[in-house]
Chains A and B, each alone.
Chain A
Amino acid sequence: GSQVKRNAHHKHAVGKGDPQVYAGQAGEPMFKVGDTVVVRELPVVFYTRTPEYVRGARGEIATVAYESPAAEDETWDRTDAKPEWFYVVRFNMAELWDGYTGTADDTIQTEIPERWLQSAT
């Protein structure tokens, strides 16, 4: 068993937690709470965690969440991937869905890494 190649992940976060183990590694966050952003239409090959339903949509930063490598890199165990900031982004349902039948104030929030976001202003 000692010859089995393991990823280092089960050891490096002990005592800190994940994503806390990546704190301080992403530099300054590009966005702050209240900023308006647009979700980029990045190509998706094999894997992403940015939902299709928000691609190209305009939203507002609700939380500057934490630093972590993006799921698109972590899922392939790319240990050299640089951590980046994650944000909880709030979208207005009536703007997101054509023919939305709820109220004009209903919202949906989803978490998105910085690479997927650009400033809307």
Chain B
Amino acid sequence: MTDHGHDHDHERTVAPMVDEITDFEVLEIALRELCIEKGIFTAEEHRRFTEFAEQIGPTPAARLVARAWLDPEFKKLALSEPMAASKEVGVDWMEPTGFGTPSDFTAFEILADTPGVHHVIVCALCSCYPRPILGNSPEWYRTPNYRRRLVRWPRQVLAEFGLYLPDDVAIRVQDSNQKHRFMVMPMRPEGTDDWTEDQLTEIVTRDCLIGVALPKPGVTINVITQTRPAIHPASSS
């Protein structure tokens, strides 16, 4: 078992979860502990925000859209008082602080697609996103690539997502560069007559709510675009 001068059982020792702590993790711990020590925020507040961030996701937004498709009165509310409509699907934009989250604000607007206009959102300056109702932003949404190109070549970027829009549909890019946060309300697709709210909710994916995809019967997950394999892959095992 062991021949290096002591007799504990290495096989029974709990292995560390990671081989090495990264610089980022070291700095995160240092910053968090200093803030708590200096009273900038408490450990309890840190836990509360973490739990808030872990329970958000795109489901309430999908339900909001499905309900608006089924109920014209609710659709009116969603477009005129989007934060009141959010409450109907369980999202209170004033949480978790009593004045909203510090970075998402409380100026929410829903952009309704029409037969002639398709909306798609971006934050060219950073990654502003309607987190309380849509959850955390996808990694690609935060990349300089998406932010730089969507404002200039929206049709090409959407095509890379597999979304080809005809020329009689105008694209409207919404750059969320101040306190407003935006979400897209796509049009209800064909072939969904008699569907229940639950069925409709399932096809309104996060990507549909950003505007890089359209809801489609049978498609209940985000788009996975076809990409060419790397010519020189990092590892060729």
Chain A residues with CB under 8 Å of chain B are 1-2, 4, 10, 13-21, 49-51, 53, 63, 65-66, 68, 71, 86, 88, 90, 93, 97, 101-103, 105-113
Contact = CB atoms under 8 A, between A and B. Distances in A.
Contacts, number: 109
A85 B107 CA distance: 14
Interface residues of B, number: 34
Contact of B107 (A19, A51, A105): A19
Given A18-B105, A19-B106, A106-B172, A51 B179 contact: no
B167 A51 contact: no
Interface in B22-57: 38-40
Contacts of B102: 10
A111 B152 CA distance: 17
B83 to A, nearest CB: 8
Interface in B209-223: none
A49 B125 contact: yes
B167 A103 contact: yes
Contact of A111 (B39, B154, B172, B176): B176
B38 A108 contact: no
Given A21-B99, A105-B170, A65 B107 contact: yes
B72 interface: no
A88 B125 CA distance: 16
Choose among A2, A16, A50, A109 the residue with the greatest number of B CB atoms under 10 Å from its CB.
Answer: A109
Choose among A10, A50, A63, A102 the residue with the greatest number of B CB atoms under 10 Å from its CB.
Answer: A102
A53 B175 CA distance: 11
A109 B179 contact: no
A65 B171 CA distance: 21
A17 B176 contact: no
Interface in B154-182: 154-156, 167, 170-180
